[in-house]
Amino acid sequence: QVQLVESGGGLVQPGGSLRLSCAASGSIFSINDMGWYRQAPGKQRELVASITSGGGTNYADSVKGRFTILRDNAKRTVYLQMNSLKPEDTAVYYCNAEVVGATVVSGARRLSSNDYWGQGTQVTVSS
């Protein structure tokens, strides 16, 4: 149906940088909001950053000034540029996208919206 494929995670030293990518594929009519979430051991999953189809962005206070969320609509891909990484950024990062899919029912096209998740990518910040 719809698949989100993440890449770019890894091990980095404090102060370093990583860029995460998430590409959507499948039966997609359009994509509305996209975002990145993370979950650290013993912590709740939290929203890191989100971006609308028009490019409006929102960031968690903990990453403002350090992270940047970007999207390439032609590639149906969202990126998270992470700079000045800290050990507390260590977590599994999950991509999320609100996808409008199209189906044909009784000869008529119908649209429906659903949230999809990537499988997660590990980011570890350690010296």
pLDDT at 43: 95
Residue 103, pLDDT score: 82
Cβ atoms of 11 and 127 within 8 Å: the answer is no
Give me the pLDDT at residue 21, please: 98
Say how far apart CA 98 and CA 113 lie, in whole Å: 7
What tokens were used for 14?
């404090």
Burial of 39 (0-12, 13-18, 19+ CB in 10 A): middle
pLDDT of residue 4: 97
Rounded average pLDDT per 10-residue block, the chain, 127 residues = 95 98 94 97 96 96 98 96 98 97 86 95 97
pLDDT of residue 104: 82
